[in-house]
Structure 1
Amino acid sequence: MHHITPVILCGGSGTRLWPLSRTAFPKQFLVLSGKTTLFQQSVERLQHLQSIDIKLNETLIVTNEEHRFLVLDQLSEMKNVKAQLLLEPIGRNTASALTLAALQAAENKEDPILVVTPSDQTVKDQAAFTRSLHNAIEVADKGLIVVLGIKPNKPDTGFGYIKKAKSENEDHASIVLNFTEKPDQLTAESYLMSGDYFWNSGMFVLRASIWLKAIQHFSSEIYEATLKAFNQKTNDDLFIRPDENLFKLIPANSIDYAVIEKCPASNFQIKMVELNAGWNDLGSWDSVWQVGEKDQNQNVTYGDTLLENTKNSLIYANNKLVSAVGIDNLVIIETSDAIMIADRNQSQHIKMIVDKLQSQKREEQVLHRKVSRPWGWYDSLDEGENFKVKRIQVNPGASLSLQKHAKRAEHWVVVKGVAEVICNDKKITLQKNESTYIPLGYTHRLSNPGKDILEIIEVQSGDYLGEDDIERFDDNYGRVEN
């Protein structure tokens, strides 16, 4: 009986899929292929590993503090998935993330086989995916590290490449000879011609003890710092948190750079199992076009679109009608606060736009107009000099933090449901079409005591309306500073 622990690496910001993917709502939480999010697909795929000789442990999800409630919300939509969340207080790349997962998996002196996958990939053929992983598990059971390789169909310079030996063993695994990280165009073309090179999928299968030995051997600084942070962890009903101050001392590095690329010709033998299952990492809008359902003119469309004499294009309408006439090979992405237009062949370079947004400290890099919160969401409808209008939805039984603002007052109008409002020492209940006023500096709280959705319209007024003008005194979601 093989004991398997699925590990989902749920970090990253998906900058090449801006403006749909944002820092606060990155691509793994979006529906970009199929009917569920990329994160949900990643979790679900590994649930199919269960078989007569494979027992699945709880899934370990490594994510960050900011995304913890997005993960919980999306897990709640799935059936029969048990998971633990390891929360990184700050991003330190994937080497420390996997080390956290391995330490957690081995905590009770167990040594399960870890099946490690990013949370932002698509796979079309579930049966083929499962077969490849079963092969990889058989190899990993012998103490080897296994990487899943994808046969390239073009000389893509955005992937790492694996060179494998020509022969395979009975487990359909080949010895890995070396790795090359994102080669230039001519080199990628030569790799494609040789037939001996495969794309590195970023999926690995290995025992928890093997990873811990390998990271200690090749990158001892990462291992020691991660171990110290893990040993000082805190647990609650939902989350496992390594010590924040100690975690910040961990050197940032990837699984590949820290360990995997150093394994060939070392004592840590690494093999590759080919994955031929319609894999795509959705690393650009061109990738989204490739996996999308195309019309007779090779267009992929989402939302409300009207096309005329248009071909080979991806058009994503999120809020408004998007029409296109006489275009070819373009990407057009519309959201409530941004429109992005790019040559499909240049879509990998959208990160440069995100870099400019970041340098200008523009909010469009981080947040959508509609922002998810653990209690529901808010949508910023309008803003002008000294005012902002929001639509706020509060889930049944949920409540915002007890808080106050130093620079703004707020007017609330209930448009759906029932609101319970605390304002300084008063508590009132508001029905539909009723309103209240929260003066500047008053301590207040909005709650939904009912079983139905609560919606209000909030009008803020003041000389500063930033989201950081908030002092929290009590919060159900751990957002009060110690």
Structure 2
Amino acid sequence: MITPVLLCGGSGTRLWPLSRKSYPKQFSPLIGDESLFQASARRLAGDGYAAPVVVTADAFRFIVTEQLAEAGIAPGAVLIEPAGRDTAPAVLAAALHLFASDPDGVMLVAPSDHVIPDTAAFNATVQAALPAVRDGRLVTFGISPDRPETGYGYLELAAAPTDDLTPLPLKAFVEKPDAETAQGMLDEGRYLWNAGIFLFSVRAIVAAYRSFAPDMVTAVQGALDGAQSDLGFTRLAADHWDAAPAISIDYAVMEKADNLSVVPFAGRWSDLGDWAAVWRETQDGGLSLSGPATALDCDNTLLRSEVEGQAIVGIGLTDIVAIAMPDAVLIAHKDRTQDVKQAVAALKQKKAPQAEAFPKDHRPWGWFESLVVGDRFQVKRIVVHPGAALSLQSHHHRSEHWIVVQGTAKVTVDDEIRLISENQSVYIPLGAVHRMENPGKVPMVLIEVQTGSYLGEDDIIRYEDVYART
């Protein structure tokens, strides 16, 4: 059995405004109806695979379990990183976690935001790598390039790969090249894109870390030994975790190891690193349209509306990317989409909330979004999952009106508990201790009208919370 290790702590700023720090690209349905994370988990499920180990950030823990449940996949463990430290500590945490129960097991490390349409071909490639793993090799997967890409690192082989999926020795890692160098490597035929996907035995990768990053082993093992169980999650100990360096597994281990093999994968693959990559994966006849989008006399253009009922129209556009969100719009030349991160940095300097905050605020019980914000009032749409409940709370600075528009709400206001059905409302006075729950079998939707001198999300005193946020 192979244990998938899904890494999903990144922010994906190059896909702003859809991908943001509070809700990065791996959790969005960029291609198809399910998220990239769900597609990755489904790809590595079924015969031959054990339940996945997920390594993620605290802010995403409930999103991870919710999306896995929607995909019908139960995680073997969800490890919570106290802070992002790049891929080397994350992979090591998963390896040491597995080592405690099955040191001879096999683990497949994969980012959770990649697109690999041909699942059968990918799994065949993984199976072809197992003999090398049994020989103690650390296997990485290289993607056969179809263009001189400057946004990826490369793997240099001693000889051109064959078509029989034979594991090949790795000669060198190559940093992201300029255009001329990338074209030369493509012509030579001995270079593959570095996909950042790895297969190895738990024992072999732990041994490699002990050889090349012993201080990291000490720090991460300490974080695991001091970990706390929290609602089924494994929360790594922050004091030890902070001692681990922020470094990729390539730099920390792979570039130093002498037992590496590469298995080429000739199928379609993309890390969706920018909007140009999304266009390549979704375009039909040069156009990629998503949502209520219309293109007139446009060529090589991506138009995407993420706002229900908001149309986006392009006329006479060539090589343009336009993304419409409820609170932000991106318009860029397709050749400049790698520079979107500069726009995010500029917005952060201006302290614009759009830089990092997603319009929908996802919580363990559901989500909410602001519809209208005024000087002393705010209107929100709140969606609560079946069986979920908000915390028992009060506010110092605001009162609230709740109007149920779908489903039924169980509402607590001080000592009174009652059911509120569609088209009914309830008033929450300033300072009242209150809670809303969804006792039904369908999502409950309500409109909340807040009024008061301060409407920030930090004006909450929690008394009880099923998600341990008190």
Task: Name stretches of at least 5 consecutive residues in structure 1 with no aligned partner.
Answer: none
1:403 to 370, 390, 393: 393
Alpha carbons of structure 1 residues 63 and 310: separation in structure 2 relative to 1, 3 Å: same
Q: Identify the residue that residue 337 of structure 2 maps to in structure 1.
A: 347
Find the partner of 2:232 among 232, 238, 259.
238
Any idea what the Cα deviations from partners look like across 1:40-82, whole Å, max 9, x if unmatched? 111111225x3xxxx4322111111111111111111223554
Question: With structure 2 as the length reference, what TM-score do the two structures score?
Answer: 0.95
1:154 counterpart = 2:178:
no
Aligned mates of 1:439, 1:341 — CA distance in 2: 44
- Residue in 2 aligned with 1:327? 317
Q: Point out the more displaced range, 338-347 or 464-473.
A: 464-473
Matches for 1:295-314 after TM superposition, within 5 Å: 296=285, 298-314=286-302
Tell me what 1:255 maps to: 249
Shift of 1:168: 6.6
Pairing 1:387–2:377 present = yes
Answer whether contact 2:370 2:379 (CA < 8 A) is retained: yes
Q: Report how far residue 360 of structure 1 moved.
A: 2.6
Instruction: Work out whether 1:35 is the aligned partner of 2:33.
Output: yes
Q: Is the 8 A contact 1:167 1:174 kept in 2?
A: no
Query: Which position in structure 1 is the counterpart of 2:178?
Result: 184
Give SS of 1:272's match: strand
State the secondary structure of the residue aligned to 1:259: helix
Q: Which runs of 5+ in 2 are unaligned?
A: none
Amino acid at match of 1:193: D
**Across the two proteins, how many residue pairs are aligned to each other?**
467
Partner of 2:72: 79
State the alpha-carbon separation in 1 of the partners of residues 32 and 407 from structure 2.
33
Q: Which amino acid aligns with 1:225?
A: A
Instruction: State the 4+ residue runs in structure 1 displaced beyond 6 angstroms.
Output: 167-171
Q: CA–CA distance in 2 between the matches of 1:80 and 1:252?
A: 30
Q: For the structure 1 residues 130 and 450, does the alpha-carbon distance in structure 2 shift closer, same or farther, using more than 3 Å as the test?
A: closer
Distance in 1 (alpha carbons) for counterparts of 2:4 and 2:32:
22
Residue in structure 1 matched with residue 200 of structure 2 by the alignment: 206
Residue 165 of structure 2 contacts residue 264 of structure 2 at CA under 8 Å; is this kept in 1? no
Out of 379-388 and 100-109, give the one that drifted further. 100-109
Q: Is the 8 A contact 2:139 2:263 kept in 1?
A: yes
Give how far 1:156 is off: 1.9
Residues 227, 237 of structure 2: 8 Å contact kept: yes
Per-residue deviation, residues 244-301 of structure 1 (Å, max 9, x unmatched): 33223322111111111222xxxx410111011111111010001101141x4x1010
Q: What is aligned with 1:95?
A: 88
Residue 218 (structure 1) shift: 1.5
Moved more, 105-114 or 91-100: 105-114
Instruction: Report if aligned partners of 1:105, 1:111 keep a CA contact under 8 Å in 2.
Output: no
Once the two structures are TM-superposed, the CA of residue 443 in structure 1 deviates from its matched residue by: 2.2
Instruction: Tell me the equivalent position of 1:108.
Output: 101
Is the alpha carbon distance of 1:326 and 1:167 closer, same or farther for their aligned partners in structure 2, counting shifts above 3 Å? closer
In structure 2, what residue type is equivalent to 1:128?
A
Separation in 1 of the partners of 2:269 and 2:160? 23
Q: In the alignment, is the contact (CA less than 8 A) between 1:126 and 1:277 conserved in 2?
A: no
Q: Is the 8 A contact 2:160 2:190 kept in 1?
A: no
Q: CA RMSD in A?
A: 1.9
Counterpart residue number, 1:432: 422
**How many Å apart are 1:307 and its aligned residue?**
1.7
The answer to whether the 8 A contact 2:108-2:197 is kept is: yes
Q: Secondary structure at the match of 2:431?
A: coil
Provide the residue aligned with 1:22 in structure 2: 20
Amino acid at match of 2:412: I
Who is 2:214 aligned against?
220
Counterpart residue number, 1:315: 303
Amino acid paired to 2:36:
L
State the secondary structure of the residue aligned to 1:399.
coil
Instruction: Answer yes or no: is the 8 Å Cα contact 2:219–2:240 preserved in 1.
Output: yes
Q: Is the 8 A contact 1:394 1:447 kept in 2?
A: yes
Shift of residue 136 of structure 1? 1.3
Secondary structure class of the residue paired with 2:467: coil
Taking the aligned partners of 2:407 and 2:458, their CA distance within structure 1 comes to: 28
Checking the alignment, whether the CA contact within 8 Å between 2:103 and 2:203 is kept in structure 1 is no
Query: Whole-Å Cα distance in 1 between the matches of residues 327 and 357 of structure 2?
Result: 10
**Matching residue of 2:439:** 449
Letter in 1 for 2:153: G
Change (3 A) 1:311 1:237: same
What one-letter code is carried by the residue in structure 1 that aligns with 2:42? E
